[in-house]
Amino acid sequence: MDVMIVDGDAALRGLLADALQEFGMTVSAFAGADEALSSPDFLPPRLLVCESAGEGAIDGVTLATLALRRWQGLRVIYLQADDAPPSWAAREIGGHVLRSCEHILHKPFRLREFLAAVLAALSAPAA
């Protein structure tokens, strides 16, 4: 699998999945970390795209931390909803210092910004 999307916003999740599939990528999409972890389709992706906060018992940062321990070579893009200026170079989320394979994309973003972030993440060094 190329990309796993975990986001509580069904419309956004569908839009992002459709865009990636148009580029020929295989995508699985889940509403939350709990759903993703319990799914039989929870296969190792090359890239995890998730909300930094997320809903449910497990937030996006915790999900990514677990996934990075489990799957070598994984890259992560956190979708962060806040009023900070968009920055691909931001290196921290709520005290969690990001590794070179983790990046932040601030909401709202344009679809072309998302696609550029995905391509950059997939070409960046892995964990």
Per domain, the residue ranges of the chain are 3-114
- The answer, as to whether pTM is greater than 0.85, is yes
pLDDT of 30-78, one tens digit each?
Answer: 998 888 888 876 678 999 999 877 666 788 888 888 888 888 889 999 9
CATH superfamily, region 3-114: Response regulator (3.40.50.2300)
What are the tokens at 104?
Answer: 């932040």
pLDDT at residue 52, as a whole number: 79
pLDDT of 91-103, one tens digit each?
Answer: 666 667 777 888 8
pLDDT at residue 59, as a whole number: 83
Q: Provide the greatest CA pair distance for the chain.
A: 37
Q: Is 14 left (phi over 0), alpha (psi -120 to 50) or beta?
A: alpha
Statement: residue 88 has pLDDT above 80: no
Q: Is 51 left (phi over 0), alpha (psi -120 to 50) or beta?
A: beta
